[in-house]
Structure 1
């Protein structure tokens, strides 16, 4: 499939164009296919630079979301109709950032995973359901580029053109497999999805876990915060300033001046090196009481089980879930969140079904997983 059936529409980048698009979408009805293009690894954050929409009776719309900004006028146009998105957890946050809020969802990627499909990327799903091949060579492009090349817009329009027929095929497949109820619960749950918030995002620096010195950890923290501010101000990905591995190396480097930093990392400007050195020096001057703990929160969560016993319990529960996953041909992380399995293992005595439900597991997950987990826990020593 090389070109959209009705050609590539013009990019909507004016308030007047948006109003016209809203009117057309309001007059139509039915599910809305939605996709978003970001500039991950190039620009700061995960905001959408282009949003694609398609409704059968209205056609395809390509919105320059960076120029238009707020797109909340689309919400009443869509009403209570279903938004069809491939990988809701990837696209919904950047849509919400533009003011878009769905009333109902259908995630084609999650549907494919619930059906046990091993390949669930959009191109693979499109080929399996529609017999068409989608080129994905522009998926990692810099979508902040203006004007956007025609080939990129062609690619973007095709992505939403296939979503609605894919949705219908997957819906029927879920019904045939008696998994439509599972899907409905998952799609409803996704309406409240928000990206995970980290109180100390700097602790996610790749390579930080290898550091043993609290002083070096403090340096990573201060360097990370300086790098993040620099990236935000320049609207570039933090890795474009300095990669994580270089940040960790700098924390351990023992540099004495910004010139030392420039000698080791020649990509940095003098102003950037000076700013990073100030952060490094700040961490170097902290008192012992001011240094961050090695672990987030200062201590590990206490468990009535020894480290070895807890490790064995986690392994036993994971093994039980893996067997259930294989028998149902549903991926283990869709069947039940791995973090939930791990937290359950640390509980001394618990009603498994109640625990899973209170922790946010959906009814279908509890129904399938609780008996298996209870059986596995019964074979394990108690605290």
Structure 2
């Protein structure tokens, strides 16, 4: 029967936040054995970016370290990178942590992602608490992942939660490796882990933000709407950077897009926008007015994205034979997914399936089944995925 673990077995480690303590932690970690269990706590809902405000590291023989890099990030990297880089890392849901670790100059030599391993093993629930309860008979304390981890000091119960995120990660990694090996999936998982590691290996900082990347901008069609959206975004961005605040706490995307869509010209119209804060009507009203009074020759125009695939309804109606082949391929992949107990999206991304099916049956970019493996790899399919799916796609798309 599972037992509760609400605090680390060796107690809550102190938070290390000075260059000297970073060097001491690095020396201790260097003396340990085996892979490193690593996790981060961030504050993207409160701060401008998704940088790590707490880094948790555990290694056999030396225990767990909680490190606060804020204010000494250069010194943090100088101390920890020589010890951590190139080593074997174990993370849970690695793509969520690797970017912030890369911003700190930290990169694994090899990677094991227990969350993805759980998906490939066919587990129904792959959050950390569910997996430790199922596989290690331990119920972890949970509930603080969405807190403001930039605040100081951090409450003791938050620190216990953070330390527990790596407390059993090494054991969980060992257990998952054994399960995947027994299922004949360990090599597949290794390919997936290496793909994740490689895609994060060149990250050095946050991706550059642009106003056109705001979700919903593509729905704006008129130049004056786009001009307002751009101006609102630029002001919001400058405030967010200067004050280190999450953009959602300044002007949420949905509100920004709705203002640009409606083009309110009076205070009364502006306060009617759902989600808009009445107290800020004068400030944002002036921004809107300034955009609308700017030279129309400077207003942006709508981006025309390359023509993509048709809607499903159009595809089925205008190209019924192609749609039938695509549907047959999808059915066989669903069957394969059930047989292997692997989610179908982990076998082949649905978007890749649609693109390949269209290209082979209508677009004619793929003229022979012999081209399929290379085409799939061009869309980032791994070798194990190609080996499993190419025969199915050959059978259904090239009959």
Distance 2:290 2:98 in 1: 35
In the other structure, the counterpart of 2:372 is: 352
Of the structure 1 ranges 129-138 and 316-325, higher mean CA displacement relative to structure 2 is found in 316-325
Structure 1 residue 184: Cα displacement: 1.0
Distance 2:12 2:38 in 1: 16
What is the correspondence of 1:284-295 to structure 2 with a 5 Å cutoff?
A: 285-287=295-297, 290-295=299-304
In the other structure, the counterpart of 1:26 is: 30
Contact 2:85 2:107 in 1 (8 A): no
In the other structure, the counterpart of 2:229 is: 220
Contact 1:262 1:268 in 2 (8 A): no
Structure 1 residue 54: Cα displacement: 0.3
Contact 2:326 2:397 in 1 (8 A): no
Per the alignment, do residues 98 and 328 of structure 1 end up closer, same or farther by CA in structure 2, a change over 3 Å counting?
same
Contact 2:220 2:302 in 1 (8 A): no
Please, which runs of 5 or more residues in structure 2 have no aligned partner? Answer: none
Q: Secondary structure at the match of 1:321?
A: helix
- Cα RMSD (Å): 2.9
Please, which runs of 5 or more residues in structure 1 have no aligned partner? Answer: none
Distance 1:275 1:59 in 2: 56
Distance 1:200 1:278 in 2: 24
Q: Secondary structure at the match of 2:192?
A: helix
Per the alignment, do residues 9 and 46 of structure 1 end up closer, same or farther by CA in structure 2, a change over 3 Å counting?
same
Q: Is the aligned partner of 1:51 residue 2:51?
A: no
Q: Secondary structure at the match of 1:45?
A: coil
Contact 1:89 1:193 in 2 (8 A): no
Contact 2:42 2:50 in 1 (8 A): yes
Per the alignment, do residues 271 and 21 of structure 1 end up closer, same or farther by CA in structure 2, a change over 3 Å counting?
farther
Per the alignment, do residues 34 and 198 of structure 1 end up closer, same or farther by CA in structure 2, a change over 3 Å counting?
closer
What is the correspondence of 1:267-286 to structure 2 with a 5 Å cutoff?
A: 267=278, 269=280, 272-273=283-284, 276-277=287-288, 280-281=291-292, 285-286=295-296
In the other structure, the counterpart of 1:300 is: 307
Contact 1:259 1:273 in 2 (8 A): no
Distance 1:43 1:258 in 2: 29
In the other structure, the counterpart of 2:351 is: 339
Of the structure 1 ranges 142-151 and 335-344, higher mean CA displacement relative to structure 2 is found in 335-344
Per the alignment, do residues 339 and 199 of structure 1 end up closer, same or farther by CA in structure 2, a change over 3 Å counting?
farther
Of the structure 1 ranges 328-337 and 141-150, higher mean CA displacement relative to structure 2 is found in 328-337
Structure 1 residue 343: Cα displacement: 2.3
Q: Secondary structure at the match of 1:300?
A: coil
Deviations 1:117-161 (A, max 9, x none): 121111111111111112221111000010111110011011101
In the other structure, the counterpart of 1:110 is: 116
Contact 2:141 2:164 in 1 (8 A): no
Per the alignment, do residues 276 and 135 of structure 1 end up closer, same or farther by CA in structure 2, a change over 3 Å counting?
farther
Distance 1:252 1:7 in 2: 54
In the other structure, the counterpart of 2:133 is: 127
In the other structure, the counterpart of 1:309 is: 319
Distance 2:327 2:232 in 1: 37
Deviations 1:271-317 (A, max 9, x none): 742663266326x6433x95322544xx42589x9854398365554
Of the structure 1 ranges 15-24 and 270-279, higher mean CA displacement relative to structure 2 is found in 270-279
Structure 1 residue 358: Cα displacement: 2.9
Distance 2:148 2:278 in 1: 21
Deviations 1:154-188 (A, max 9, x none): 11011101100100100100110000100111111
Contact 2:93 2:115 in 1 (8 A): yes
Distance 2:257 2:86 in 1: 48
Distance 2:329 2:287 in 1: 45
1:323 aligned residue (311, 317, 335)? 335
Deviations 1:197-219 (A, max 9, x none): 98885445444454443542443
Q: Secondary structure at the match of 1:100?
A: coil
